[in-house]
Structure 1
Amino acid sequence: MESSPEEAATEHPEITYIGCARCGTLIAGLDGRYACSGCGWVNEWTEGHRPLPEARRRT
C-alpha cells in the first residue's frame, strides 16, 4: 500500500547507503537520494524511494 504525499511528508526520512556510481565510494543518502562528496556525482531526484514533500508558502 502506497502512502499519500501528505503521509510521506510526515514520516521520518530513512538513511540509505549505496556505492557511488562514478567512483565507488560508499555514500549515505536520505530516502534513496544521494550526492557523493568525493567526485560530485548525484543521482536523479526521481530515483528516490518516495515522493518529495510539496512546498508550502510561509505565512
Structure 2
Amino acid sequence: MAQGILDVVKLSDPTGKILNERTLENGLVIQKVSVPLGVIAIIYESRPNVTSDAATLCIKSGNT
C-alpha cells in the first residue's frame, strides 16, 4: 500500500495546467485549465489497498 501511495506522490501536479489556449480576434484570451472536480464518490471492492489509493488520488488532484 505504501508503494502505491509513493507512486502517486511522484506524479506531476494535475491541477492548474493549461490544457488549451487561444486568442480571439478582439484580443480576448481563452484558456482551458484543469481544476479539481470537488467531491468524488467512489464505489469499489473492499481490498486493503483501494482505500489508500483512492484517498491519495483525491488528495493529489485537489478533490475531497
- Same-fold call, TM > 0.5? no
Q: Which has the higher helix share?
A: 2
> What TM bracket, shorter-length normalisation?
under 0.3
Q: What TM-score do you get using the length of structure 2 for normalisation?
A: 0.22
